[in-house]
């Protein structure tokens, strides 16, 4: 009877080995294990803190987005003509109670920069001017809302950031600029980051892209630039200001060994930072290390060596798999070199990698197809058409055969879009492409050039009348009503056709067909025009 080893898979074999080693060495492995564990734990803790950091940045992003969306909606809902009346802007803001929930104050400036409304303090209405303030000039220059740099408000003396939204009248003249203030010390905004701080002594902070401190446990540092503080900019902060995102272990400005992470808020470029002192992060390991007994070191090293040798042997199939994958990556072997017959985890990993590689190959093929195809109509795209036209012109010059192109578009397509909507317009484009493809010859190349413009490449034309017959056939194919979204639409096309003269380039030929298209439109649309082909004798002479 054939003996079956009771331990069939890699996990079971590792479990048996590790259990035996733990039984033999017990706590004797503690010191060696703790050193390795601390290294691994640093990665785990760092990744966890970076996840917290990403959560904090996401919270700020969502909060800012909600505030900007609200301010933008209120700006768009305003009637510019009615805001010209005295007190109209103040009354308009007072009607929107949600502004008080999202901002500590909302003010409005007229086109000259004079304060004309304020939700929380009306005393400076008409006397305060923001015309020379960066948030005002930047909004006027950008013609859209901005997030200001942090500053200390002259109205409230608080550290604030402003979100702005301009309101323009029908003539495009600036009427007012709405500005919502965010108090950087307000618990409803940055104060919500506090529950995310790590441990007892860890903390979160917030920097502007220029290094200005927006939030810090030491409130005296708010609105200072890190570059202007004693000690200058720490290397980790310098990397963050240069674009780094992630965590590292480094000393703080106070000299404390800590895990420090940085994550940007995409819409503003603000940098959310986290500091977690290493002494607190690794406190359990540090305590356990102090408790370990020195005499156990030699026995722990011996057990570790035995374990390493055993695991090295057990993981040999995994090393073989790694080598095979490396050969596949270098192109030295096909993916079928992997051993798919193993029944353990290595075999499962081989099969998963094999399947993933096959899926990626199919995905690459699909991407290549999409790169050549117009996604809406399924026709060739402009890039493919130009390549095919270049090759056709070379073939024609060598063989003396005739090549022609048709340049066509949908008459009054903009009117269809404006009247029935872009969704209906897309249906018209799809049906137009289907009819066009069904009308021309199987050997002809049909492509969507752009918008409602299409092109067709004709090769191996016979008599000169054949091109005109193709143009007439295309025009007639489009005259039956188009059924688009349960609507019968009258759709026509104008077609310009041009025969390639010997030696002509792609751009020149397309230009001739485009000119013929405009001639067809000038003649009343729903028709075609053919650029006269070069005389056959002349063509033959040029070809020779």
> Distance between CA atoms of 291 and 463, rounded to whole angstroms?
99
39 or 411: whose pLDDT is higher? 411
Query: What is the arrangement of strands in the sheet containing 402-410, beginning at the earlier edge strand?
Result: 445-450, 453-461, 402-410, 493-499, 527-531
Q: Which CATH number fits domain 187-284: 3.40.50.1110, 3.40.1160.10, 3.40.50.720, 3.30.450.20?
A: 3.30.450.20
pLDDT at 541 over 70: no
pLDDT at 6 over 60: no
Largest Cα span, the chain? 105
Range of weakest confidence among 23-37, 182-196, 226-240: 23-37
Identify which has the larger pLDDT, 311 or 8: 311
- Predicted confidence at residue 262, as pLDDT, reads 92
**What per-residue confidence (pLDDT) applies to 46?**
75
Residue 153 C-alpha from the chain's centroid: 35
Give the gyration radius of the chain's Cα atoms: 36
| Percent of all residues in the chain with a pLDDT value above 90, rounded to a whole number | 34
Instruction: Check pLDDT > 50 for residue 536.
Output: no
Residue 56's closest CA among 275, 250, 222? 275
- The string of pLDDT tens digits covering residues 460-515 is 888 778 899 999 999 999 999 999 888 899 999 999 999 999 889 999 999 999 99
pLDDT of residue 28 exceeding 60:
no
Average pLDDT of the chain is 82
Task: Answer whether 370's CB lies under 8 Å from 362's CB.
Answer: no
Beta strands 271-277 and 257-264: pairing type? antiparallel
For 425-456, how does the pLDDT look when each residue is reduced to its tens digit (9 = 90+)? 999 999 999 999 999 999 999 999 989 999 99
Catalytic residue among 110, 452, 514, 526: 452
- Residues written for the chain: 544
Q: What average pLDDT does the segment 351-361 reach? A: 72
Say which CATH architecture domain 78-183 belongs to.
2-Layer Sandwich (3.30)
73 touches 277 (CB < 8 A) = no
The whole-number pLDDT of residue 219 equals 80
Please determine whether the domains at 78-183 and 187-284 fall in the same fold group of CATH: yes
pLDDT computed for residue 539 by the predictor: 40
CB 38 within 8 A of CB 279: no
For residue 245, pLDDT over 80 is answered with yes
Task: Identify the CA nearest to 71 among candidates 103, 104, 94.
Answer: 103
CB 32 within 8 A of CB 301: yes
- What's the CA gap between 541 and 463, in Å, rounded? 18
Q: Is 452 a catalytic residue?
A: yes
The predicted pLDDT at position 538 comes to 41
More confident site: 301 or 406: 406
Other Cβ atoms closer than 10 A to 146: 20
State the pairing for strand pair 482-484/271-277. unpaired
Which residues, in sequence order, are CB contacts of 198 under 8 Å at separation 6+? 49, 52, 274, 276, 281
Under a CB-based contact definition with an 8 Å cutoff, are residues 285 and 270 in contact? no
- Return the CATH class of domain 382-543: alpha beta
pTM of the predicted model as reported, rounded to 2 decimal places: 0.46
The C-alpha atoms of residue 17 and residue 20 are separated, in whole angstroms, by 5
DSSP 380: B
DSSP code of residue 460 = E
Contact by Cβ (8 Å): 419, 490: no
* pLDDT at residue 4, rounded to an integer: 44
Output b/e per residue, 157-172; b: 16+ Cβ within 10 A: ebbbbbbbbbbeeeee
Residue 474 main-chain phi, psi, to 5 deg? -65, -45
Give the residue among 383, 396, 382, 388 at the shortest CA–CA distance from 504: 396
Collapse the DSSP code of 247 into the 3-class scheme (helix H, G, I; strand E, B; otherwise coil) and give the result: strand
Asked whether residue 92 carries a pLDDT value surpassing 70, the answer given is yes
- Kindly state the tokens that stand for 406: 């048709």
CA distance 430 to 201: 63
Task: State the pLDDT at residue 390.
Answer: 95
User: Cα(12)–Cα(529) distance, rounded to whole angstroms?
Assistant: 79
> What's the CA gap between 513 and 403, in Å, rounded?
12
Q: Which residue has the higher pLDDT, 126 or 185?
A: 126
Band (pLDDT 50/70/90 cuts) for residue 136 is: very high
Q: Contact, 45 vs 136, CB < 8 A?
A: no
Q: 345-371 and 10-25 helices cross at what angle (nearest 10)?
A: 130
Closest by Cα among 411, 391, 392, 388 to 402: 392
Selected residue with higher pLDDT from 305 and 69? 69
DSSP 270: -
| Higher-pLDDT residue of 217, 95 | 95
CA-to-CA distance for 230 and 452, rounded, in angstroms?
Answer: 64
301 by Cβ neighbours in 10 Å (0-12 / 13-18 / 19+) ranks as middle
Tokens standing for residue 252 = 């703080």
Which range among 29-33, 220-224, 356-360, 405-409 shows the weakest confidence by mean pLDDT? 29-33
Query: Could you state, in order of their start, the residue ranges of all structural domains in the chain?
Result: 78-183, 187-284, 315-370, 382-543
518 vs 32: which has the higher pLDDT? 518
Could you give the CA distance from residue 107 to residue 118 in angstroms, rounded to a whole number? 4
Range with lowest mean pLDDT among 243-247, 257-261, 366-370, 530-534: 366-370
pLDDT of residue 214: 82
What is the predicted pLDDT for the residue at 517?
96
Q: Which of 36-50, 109-123, 137-151, 215-229 comes out lowest in average pLDDT?
A: 36-50
At residue 190, the pLDDT reads: 66
Would the pLDDT of 417 be above 80? yes
């Amino acid at each position: 009877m054939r003996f079956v080893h009771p331990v069939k898979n890699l996990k079971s074999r590792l479990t048996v080995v590790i259990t035996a080693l733990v039984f033999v060495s017990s706590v004797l492995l503690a010191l060696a294990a703790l050193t390795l564990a601390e290294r691994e734990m640093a990665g785990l803790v760092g990744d966890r803190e970076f996840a917290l950091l990403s959560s904090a940045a996401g919270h700020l992003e969502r909060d800012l987005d909600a505030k900007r969306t609200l301010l933008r909606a209120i700006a768009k809902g305003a009637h510019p003509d009615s805001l010209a009346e005295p007190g109209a802007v103040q009354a308009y803001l007072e009607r929107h109670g949600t502004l008080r929930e999202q901002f500590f104050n909302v003010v409005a400036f007229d086109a000259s920069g004079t304060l004309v409304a304020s939700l929380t303090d009306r005393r400076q209405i008409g006397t305060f001017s923001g015309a020379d303030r960066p948030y005002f000039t930047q909004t006027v220059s950008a013609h859209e809302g901005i997030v200001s740099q942090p500053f200390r408000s002259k109205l409230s003396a608080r550290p604030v950031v402003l979100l702005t939204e301009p309101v323009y009248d029908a003539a495009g003249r600036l009427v007012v600029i709405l500005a919502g203030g965010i108090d950087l010390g307000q618990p409803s905004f940055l104060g919500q980051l506090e529950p995310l701080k790590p441990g007892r002594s860890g903390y979160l902070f917030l920097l502007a892209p220029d290094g200005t401190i927006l939030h810090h446990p030491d409130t005296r540092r708010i609105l200072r630039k890190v570059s202007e503080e004693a000690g200058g900019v720490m290397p980790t902060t310098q990397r963050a200001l240069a674009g780094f995102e992630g965590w590292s272990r480094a000393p703080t400005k106070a000299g404390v060994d800590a895990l420090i992470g940085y994550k940007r808020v995409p819409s503003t470029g603000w940098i959310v930072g986290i500091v977690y002192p290493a002494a607190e992060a690794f406190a359990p390991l540090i305590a356990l290390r102090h408790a370990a007994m020195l005499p156990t070191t030699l026995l722990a090293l011996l057990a570790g060596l035995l374990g390493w040798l055993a695991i090295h042997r057990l993981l040999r199939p995994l090393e073989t798999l790694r080598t095979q994958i490396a050969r596949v990556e270098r192109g030295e072997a096909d993916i079928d070199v992997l051993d798919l017959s193993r029944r353990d985890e290595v075999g499962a990993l081989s099969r998963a990698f094999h399947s993933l590689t096959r899926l990626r190959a199919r995905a690459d093929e699909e991407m290549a197809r999409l790169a050549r195809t117009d996604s809406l109509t399924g026709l060739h795209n402009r890039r493919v058409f130009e390549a095919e036209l270049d090759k056709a012109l070379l073939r024609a010059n060598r063989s003396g055969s005739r090549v022609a192109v048709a340049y066509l578009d949908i008459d009054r397509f903009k009117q269809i879009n404006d009247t029935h909507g872009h969704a209906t317009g897309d249906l018209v484009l799809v049906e137009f492409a289907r009819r066009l493809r069904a009308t021309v010859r199987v050997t002809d190349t049909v492509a969507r050039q752009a918008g409602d413009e299409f092109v067709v490449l004709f090769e191996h034309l016979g008599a000169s009348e054949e091109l005109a017959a193709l143009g007439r056939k295309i025009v007639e194919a489009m005259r039956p009503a188009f059924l688009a979204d349960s609507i019968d639409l009258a759709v026509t096309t104008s077609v310009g056709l041009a025969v390639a003269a010997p030696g002509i380039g792609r751009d020149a030929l397309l230009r001739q067909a485009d000119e013929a298209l405009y001639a067809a439109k000038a003649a009343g649309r729903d028709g075609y025009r053919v650029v006269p082909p070069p005389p056959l004798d002349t063509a033959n002479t040029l070809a020779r």
